[in-house]
Amino acid sequence: MNSPIGIESVRSMVVGLDECVPVADGAMRPYVNCDNAASTPTLRPVAAAVDEFLRWYSNVHRGTGFKSRLSSWAFEEARAVIARFVGAEDRSNVVIFCRNATEGINRLAHRYPFRPDGIVLTSVMEHHSNELPWRRVAHVVHVGLTPDGRLDLADLEAKLVEHEGRVQLVALTGASNVTGWVNPVHDIARLAHAHGAEVMIDGAQLVPHRPVTMKPDGHPEHLDYLVFSGHKMYAPYGVGVLVGPRATFLRGDPDLVGGGAVDIVTLEDAYWTDLPDKEEAGTPDIVGAVAVARAIRLLEAVGWDAIIAHEQALTARALQRLTATAGVTIYGCSDPRRLIDRLGVIAFNVAGLPHALVAAILGYEHGIGVRAGCFCAHPYVKNLLHVDAVAAQALEDRIRRRDRSDIPGAVRISFGIYNSVEEVDAVCDAVARIARGEHRTDYVLNVERGEYTLPGADAALDRFFTIDLPAAAP
């Protein structure tokens, strides 16, 4: 059992927290990272585990040397830690390592036993990673949204009834990377199972912020499949996780083939090995698996009650201040009292200013990291911004001409377990200044990319980091 870690001590564990960055007036400011929905920094205990493990690193499985045996044990122990973390029953389920949640969904799409008339139910609020893979392998039907951007559960049930017997998989996000809405995944599972469908949850946004349990096999609220990524949970070392029934991956050929996935190869045939090796051809990301396991241990030591309370406090503060700022529009829920079914992800716009310009000003003039655009969720963002069919077609025509200068979108701030109230205030102060017009006007728009830059600001990035070896001492 890990010793408890106070939420107040997590901030001191962030690698790079004390780094200062240059801003437009020539000063250096401590960097404020509010782009955690895209990727999180790593934490010192995770980095320390990686450094410690690298002393013993070797390739896994079949090696007879001590380091290979130890690495194999650590790799499989990381798999066991993940299975326990999400409540996956080991005998009937398998944890498969991949690069990220996107690859996990693609792998499942290629391995799932769809019938010729099989349907995947997904929604308008999905990340592209939980939309595009399904189009290649099945007929996709979309569940609608409520006016405030939530999943419409009544429409989900109606679609299940309408396509009774054909819906094989309900594939939905656990939490939106745009508005932060948390979907009731177990209610969804109960509904899907009642209509003979299985459930896949894209947990990339949810798993780092809320406890997720798959529940026992056969339970009406069991999550059949779950995917998530280490880089969004303080372990940015290149590994993702796909969890699902062994039966799905035992049948047929693996998605990727090569060394480690076979028991016997002849010039005419190949005989696949047992799970999970069958689905992990080639040398896996051993270091990444160890990093995710240590990150899980850290989250467990901090405790979900503390994590949730802290992130809700940050979200409430940001919503209170942003809603009080003239010219700011928040998409989704803007009520600081409604925190149970949302994460600390806030998408907004400032009246009269392009979202990409607001994000650039925050970065170049205030040293604040955010993200702008459609966040790989184009249909959802267009729905939130009420982009009609005529405007959408005109937009598509401009993009085909490589003109992204007027893409609809928003600015997004997103919090992690280490962010502070002071950082929230710094962001809100900066947004208020931008809304009042207190910013530089010499930004340059790259029409093809739809991005704004400040001339000369990035001329010497290599003084902060370089790929080259350090100069030898004289």
The residues, ordered by sequence, that sit 6+ positions from 27 with a Cβ below 8 Å of its Cβ are none
Give burial (CB, 10 Å; 0-12/13-18/19+) of 438: exposed
d(Cα 91, Cα 409) in Å, to the nearest integer?
A: 45
Angle of helix 286-302 relative to helix 44-54, nearest 10 degrees, comes to: 140
DSSP string, 338-352: --TTB-SEEEEEETT
Do 202 and 175 touch, CB atoms closer than 8 A? no
- Give exposure, 396-416, as e/b (b: 16+ Cβ within 10 Å): eeeeeeeebeebbbbbbbbbb
Q: Are 263 and 62 in contact (CB under 8 A)?
A: no
DSSP H or E stretch at residue 228: strand 225-229
Identified catalytic residue from 333, 374, 376, 428: 376
Catalytic residue flag (residue 374): no
What's the rounded Cα separation, in Å, for the pair 160 and 73? Answer: 44
Whole-angstrom distance, CA of residue 363 vs CA of residue 357 = 10
Tokens of 248: 């799905």
Residue in the structure block whose two tokens are 């001329």: 459
Asked if the bond preceding 276 is cis, omega within 30° of 0, the reply is yes
- SS3 state at 463: helix
Check if the beta carbon of residue 384 is closer than 8 Å to that of residue 149: yes
Tell me the one-letter amino acid at 346: I
Q: Pairing state of beta strands 167-173 and 451-453?
A: unpaired
Amino acid letter at 40? T
Tokens of residue 288, six digits: 């990444």
Contact 275, 91 (CB under 8 A): no
CA distance 160 to 143: 10
Q: Rg of the chain's alpha carbons, rounded to an integer? A: 23
Backbone angles phi, psi at 249, to 5 degrees: -95, -10
Q: What would the two tokens of residue 38 be?
A: 């895209």
In degrees rounded to 5, what are phi and psi of residue 412?
-125, 130
Known catalytic residues are: 376
